[in-house]
A and B are shown apart, each in its own frame.
Chain A
Amino acid sequence: QKEVEQNSGPLSVPEGAIASLNCTYSDRGSQSFFWYRQYSGKSPELIMSIYSNGDKEDGRFTAQLNKASQYVSLLIRDSQPSDSATYLCAVTSGAGSYQLTFGKGTKLSVIP
């Protein structure tokens, strides 16, 4: 059973702080890793993808991947109230598999 685990939160951070969201996965053969943001009542929006170990930065977002530890994280710098949402970690398994396995999401609340 492939599993993706996230702390459900809520994670509360003050405006301007760094929000750190974590995710672990059980399938060691996983190859592609994604972070989606989902506002209440809306569909998920892709914000980051990462495929190799290390860091990947895009604006205020940094994704970090450690395949040895089966761990992926998302850092949001200079958090804004508009970042308040549920963040979903998603993983695809081995080569040729396009199905995403989602975590249950971490609810982030950025306090003004």
Chain B
Amino acid sequence: GAVVSQHPSRVICKSGTSVKIECRSLDFQATTMFWYRQFPKKSLMLMATSNEGSKATYEQGVEKDKFLINHASLTLSTLTVTSAHPEDSSFYICSARAYGTTPYEQYFGPGTRLTVT
């Protein structure tokens, strides 16, 4: 149980284009999903917290107009990197928090490696 998928796993795009990343909870309902970014040899950086049916809460320094988050259902959240630039190249990972007896546990998706050329 508690499986989270992400799509795509790897994407290369040109500077100035937009990229959408999907995060799905496959066998549970996720009231809250989180989006992280991780640069090489660095720790995870929380970008935003996404609650189903409401606007995402962004961490300080994360541009909400650049990183658009939509949490349209209890099993799907999307992150769109708009007008991507090479400095946006990173490993983007989502996680989901389940209902139930272990509400504080987060389960991570496999990540999406974004390269902007």
Q: Which residues does A use to contact B, with CB under 8 Å?
A: 31-32, 34, 36, 42-46, 49, 51, 88, 92, 98-100, 102-105
Q: Which residues does B use to contact A, with CB under 8 Å?
A: 32, 34, 42-44, 46, 49, 93, 97, 102-111
- Find the A residue at minimum CB distance from B45: A102
B49 partner residues in chain A, CB cutoff 8 A: 98-99
Among candidates B32, B34, B46, B106, residue contacting A46 with C-beta atoms closer than 8 Å: B106
Q: Does B97 lie within 8 Å of A49, measured CB to CB?
A: no
Given A43-B93, A88-B43, A88-B44, are A100 and B108 also a contact pair (CB < 8 Å)?
A: no
Q: Does A98 lie within 8 Å of B107, measured CB to CB?
A: no
Q: Does B111 lie within 8 Å of A42, measured CB to CB?
A: yes
Q: Does B110 lie within 8 Å of A43, measured CB to CB?
A: yes
- Find the B residue at minimum CB distance from A104: B43
A45, B107: Cα distance in complex, Å: 7
Given A43-B108, A43-B109, are A98 and B43 also a contact pair (CB < 8 Å)?
A: no
Among candidates A36, A43, A49, A104, residue contacting B104 with C-beta atoms closer than 8 Å: A49
Please give the distance in Å from A106's CB to the nearest CB on chain B.
11
The contact sample of 28 A-B pairs, CB cut-off 8 A, is A31-B104, A42-B111, A43-B93, A43-B109, A43-B110, A43-B111, A44-B44, A44-B93, A44-B108, A46-B105, A46-B107, A49-B102, A49-B104, A49-B105, A51-B104, A88-B43, A88-B44, A92-B104, A98-B49, A98-B97, A98-B103, A98-B106, A99-B34, A99-B46, A99-B49, A100-B46, A103-B43, A105-B43
B44 partner residues in chain A, CB cutoff 8 A: 44, 88, 102
Q: Does B32 lie within 8 Å of A98, measured CB to CB?
A: yes
A105, B32: Cα distance in complex, Å: 24
Given A102-B44, A103-B43, are A34 and B34 also a contact pair (CB < 8 Å)?
A: no
Given A42-B110, A43-B111, A98-B97, are A34 and B105 also a contact pair (CB < 8 Å)?
A: yes
B46 partner residues in chain A, CB cutoff 8 A: 99-100
A54, B108: Cα distance in complex, Å: 26
